Amino acid sequence: MQKRKLGNSGLEVSALGLGCMSMSSGYGPAADKQEMIALIRKAIEYGVTLFDTAEAYGPFANEELLGEALAPFRNDVVIATKFGFEIDPDTGERKGGTNSRPEHIKQVAEASLKRLKTDYIDLFYQHRVDPAVSIEDVAGAVKELIQAGKVRHLGLSEAGAQTIRRAHAIQPITAVQSEYSLWYRGPENEILPMLEELGIGFVPFSPLGVGFLTGKIDENTKFDSSDFRTMVPRFAPEAMKENMALVDLVCDVATRKHATPAQIALSWLLAQKPWIVPIPGTTKLHRLEENLGATKVEFTPYELSEIGAAAARIPLQGARLPEASLAMTGR
């Protein structure tokens, strides 16, 4: 497995990480715990070292899953988790709002450490910007956790450019996590140039367009009632029908490169910058193996330019998230 460094931080991880949310929540019923432990450990065998979770996934269940799966390999892996939502610590009920008050951040860190069966968190992200708490106070709270040895690196998720700059001035940011793929290219305009300037790594989630770029989904696909895609405008049947033009493009490139559509989507991301580390998620071993094969696909500069230009000419229909979720991003 190839290795990459997240910006100037020196934190080295596998070129592809593993997003673990879907194992516990978001895409329907939780997968079998023992099967997911086996999958996570298989990923380690294949050289994956970056594992992404959050207290909100489950809630709590995903961190507990990773804690059990990664315990025998703790010194060989990088665990990224997140704080920032209001979740009842007793019931696990998510109350809906953000909460990044410094005292809450520290409480979440202690609880996450227990669930993850570790004494330090490698990368601690603010899950969503909290409009009620200054980002300087958030960065300061994580800085204190770093000084205490409980956290090693600060990250931000779905934050806007000015928020990133302000936080970085208080505590250097190691990574920013946001959605990025051929399906959603918003970070290219302002975020990626700024991250390069500041020496911050970028960790794209949903690098396969929440499954759309795999070519396995179309307007006839039926999602489980608990799958969050049932609420996403871009996954409405009429929008998917229009957006299939992008899938057709990816499939055409895959045929020419003797690869799968998923591998093309991931390898295109990897080719954008050497400090980009996508975190595709899966609950299936054959998909894990397929995704990791993306690291072997190479593009010429002309091919990259051709793919990017062709994708930019396709007008995609539907917002990438429900309106309430979009309101919490890019601040």
Strand partners, 18: 51
CA 89 to chain centre: 24
Reading the block at residue 200, the tokens are 């911050």
Query: Across-strand partners of 96?
Result: none
Kindly tell me the sign of the dihedral angle through the C-alpha atoms of 217, 223, 228, 233: positive
The amino acid that residue 218 corresponds to is: D
Q: Token pair of 17, please?
A: 């990480």
Question: How far is residue 126's CA from residue 156's CA, in Å, rounded to a whole number?
Answer: 5
Annotated active-site residue 57? The verdict is yes
Catalytic residue among 27, 57, 180, 184: 57
Please give the DSSP secondary-structure letter assigned to residue 13. Answer: E
Which value, to the nearest 10 degrees, does the dihedral of the CA atoms of residues 299, 304, 310, 311 take?
Answer: 90
The span from the CA of 106 to the CA of 217, in Å, is 41
Catalytic residues: 57
